[in-house]
Amino acid sequence: MKIKKLEMVGFKSFVDRTIVHFDHDVMGIVGPNGCGKSNIVDAIRWCMGEQSAKHLRGRAMDDVIFAGSESRGPTGMAEVSLTFDARALGQDVSPGGVPWGAVGPEEVVVTRRLYRAGDSEYLLNGVPSRLRDVVEFFLGTGVGSKAYAIIEQGRIGFIVSSRPDDRRGLFDEAAGITKYKAKKRAAEVVLATTSSVKHSKRAAKKSPKNK
């Protein structure tokens, strides 16, 4: 999938609604130190489900909400929306039970909101969703907070020096099989839980108290 547009309001230094269009294959964002270039990457990562404030260069998650300045007061909410060209979306993509891939929309808008009170919201094309749905939506696409589409400073060195098992995750994502592995793990958890319940019931029936 290709990012077409990024929209931010109340996110870090972008207190006013700011829209960035990605309408070329190669784009560069330039500016002096402290102008917010890195905040754009943080906004993309955050919208795609990043849960670590450290990876967003903050101490707590509410650090992404505009904290105020000499001339502006703090905002009560941060919102970021990413618009994707979804024409290449896989037919089997159906996070939250919604068959996005089968429907075949030209665009999919992923939105994340965080309120200073601590409440958060995720939306897929305006449909309220869970974090799990957002993560599932990106699985196997190469896009996501943990995928190879975002390579920041130090990432190359980490990839080169990491263990083979850690590097394998990048190849799995590139091959598009991470979503199947995630479904396999979820199924194994369900099977293990079901097996444990059945074992407990059998043990209860064999208990001397039930004879």
Kindly report, residue by residue over 24-42, the tens digit of the pLDDT: 888 888 989 888 898 998 9
- 210 shares a domain with 110: no
Is the predicted pLDDT of residue 116 greater than 80, yes or no? yes
CA 169 to chain centre: 16
Read off the pLDDT of residues 48-100 as tens digits, 9 standing for 90 and up: 888 989 888 899 999 999 999 989 999 999 999 999 887 766 666 665 555 66
The answer to whether 20 touches 6, Cβ cutoff 8 Å, is: yes
Domain count, the chain: 2
Read off the pLDDT of residues 166-197 as tens digits, 9 standing for 90 and up: 777 777 766 666 666 767 777 888 888 887 76
Give the pLDDT score at 159.
72
Q: The pTM is what?
A: 0.73
- 128 shares a domain with 191: no
Whether 15 maps to a domain, the answer reads: yes
The answer to whether 98 touches 66, Cβ cutoff 8 Å, is: no
- 211 shares a domain with 119: no
Provide φ and ψ at 169, rounded to 5°: -60, -35
- 206 shares a domain with 113: no
Whether 80 maps to a domain, the answer reads: yes
Whether 115 maps to a domain, the answer reads: yes
- Give me the domain span that covers residue 44: 2-162
Element (H, E) at 112: strand 107-115
Whether 171 maps to a domain, the answer reads: no
Whether 187 maps to a domain, the answer reads: yes
Between residues 32 and 101, the one the model is more confident about: 32
Is the predicted pLDDT of residue 145 greater than 60, yes or no? no
Indicate the pLDDT class of residue 5, thresholds 50, 70 and 90.
very high
- 185 shares a domain with 143: no
Give the pLDDT score at 153.
66
- 155 shares a domain with 132: yes
- Contacts of residue 51, defined as CB under 8 A and 6 or more positions apart, other chains included, come to 61, 131, 145
Q: What is the CATH number of the domain that holds 68?
A: 3.40.50.300
The DSSP string of 117-130 is TS-EEEEETTEEE-
- 71 shares a domain with 97: yes
- 98 shares a domain with 139: yes
Between CA 93 and CA 100 the distance in angstroms is: 6
Q: Which of 64, 23, 24, 66 is nearest to 41 (CA)?
A: 64
Give the pLDDT score at 93.
62
Q: Which of 74, 70, 65 is nearest to 8 (CA)?
A: 65
- 22 shares a domain with 85: yes
Q: Which of 174, 147, 134, 144 is nearest to 44 (CA)?
A: 144
Whether 172 maps to a domain, the answer reads: no
Provide φ and ψ at 13, rounded to 5°: -80, -5
As a whole-number percent, the residues of the chain with pLDDT over 70 amount to 73
Give the pLDDT score at 64.
96
- 186 shares a domain with 148: no
The answer to whether 137 touches 109, Cβ cutoff 8 Å, is: no
Q: Which amino acid is located at 93 in the chain? A: V
- 96 shares a domain with 71: yes
Average pLDDT, the chain: 81
- 183 shares a domain with 157: no
Whether 169 maps to a domain, the answer reads: no
